[in-house]
Amino acid sequence: MVHNKAKNNEGEWEETCSKNNLEQWAKKVGKRGSQAWYEQWYKKTKPKQKPTADHLGEDISLIYEDEEIEESNCEKWGKDEERGEEWQERWGEIHRVGEKQKWCDKWSKEISTGLRKGESWGQNYTEDY
């Protein structure tokens, strides 16, 4: 796991990321003036080729170089007090046997009125897509 923290005269932020075999995630949090934000990503992959007995003694990372996304998602949030707005974004995809889908939600909100605007969509796929 890697963790970075930084600060300058405009603001401060932190980043954390990790990779464990075929799973990766990252997170960022920060503040600059009247702005604050949060972001997080996750990705799980699967090798296109499964290791077999024929691969004994080989560098296993070479087998995993050719990967497919099994699951991926992202969530972002931000707020700007000076501009009076807040926003949120979420998206992702899943590619598993019997479950294939993609989705996205994006919204912004005017803080003073609570007025929200945005879009949301999703799609489920058949096995042969």
Tokens matching residue 129: 């897509």
**Residue 129, in any domain of the structure:** no
**Residue 14, in any domain of the structure:** yes
Residue type, 102: K
Q: What is the pTM of this model?
A: 0.74
Per residue in 17-55, pLDDT tens?
999 888 999 999 999 999 999 999 999 988 776 656 565
**Residue 89, in any domain of the structure:** yes
Structural domain including 90 reads 2-124
The number of folded domains in the chain is 1
Is residue 57 over pLDDT 70? no
How far apart, in whole angstroms, are the C-alpha atoms of residue 15 and residue 27?
Answer: 6
If you search the block for the tokens 């996304």, which residue do you land on? 69
How far apart, in whole angstroms, are the C-alpha atoms of residue 59 and residue 122?
Answer: 39
**Residue 86, in any domain of the structure:** yes
For residue 31, the cross-strand partners are: 12, 36
Residue 50, SS3 per DSSP: coil
**Residue 6, in any domain of the structure:** yes
Per residue in 75-119, pLDDT tens?
999 999 999 999 999 999 998 888 899 999 999 999 999 999 999
Tokens matching residue 32: 């600059």
